[in-house]
Amino acid sequence: MEIVWHAHNAVISDRLRARAESGLVKAASRLNRTVTGTIRFEREVTRCRIELMLHAARHKTLVAEGHARYYGPALTLALEHLETQVARERRTARQRTARLART
C-alpha cells in the first residue's frame, strides 16, 4: 500500500507520523485489496484537522476526519471514524440483511 502525505501549515513530529501511519496500515489490513492511503494534516489558527483516506478495490473510498485543538486527539478521532467505516464495509450482504430482518 502506498501512503501519500500532505501537510498544510503544519509541523508534524516523527512520533505523530508513525502513529498515523500505523493506524492507517492497521485499518488497511482489515480490508482486502487496499491500494493507497492519504493522510492530510491541516492547521488553522487554533484548530487542527486530520483527514484519512483509504482507497481499496471493490470498496468505496473511506474518508475520516478528526478536529481538535491539538493533533494527537484529532488523530485519535480520525482513526476511530476510519475503524468504524472499515467494520461497516467488511460486513457481507447476508449479515446486513440478517440485521434488517431482526428489527
Q: Are 56 and 28 in contact (CB under 8 A)?
A: yes
pLDDT value of position 93? 67
Element (H, E) at 1: none
pLDDT at 71: 95
Q: pTM of the predicted model, to two decimals?
A: 0.85
CATH homologous superfamily, domain 2-102: Ribosome hibernation promotion factor-like (3.30.160.100)
Could you tell me which of 101, 52, 43, 47 has the C-alpha nearest to residue 76?
52
The size of the chain, in residues, is: 103
Helices (H), ranges, 31-92: 71-90
CA nearest 64: which of 39, 89, 88, 32? Answer: 39
For the chain, which residues make up each domain, given as ranges? Answer: 2-102
User: For the sheet containing 62-68, what is the strand order?
Assistant: 2-8, 34-43, 48-56, 62-68
Kindly give the confidence (pLDDT) of every residue in the chain, 103 residues in length, as a single tens digit, with 9 standing for 90 and above: 788 998 888 889 999 999 999 999 999 998 888 889 999 999 988 999 999 999 988 888 999 999 999 999 999 999 999 999 998 887 766 776 776 677 6
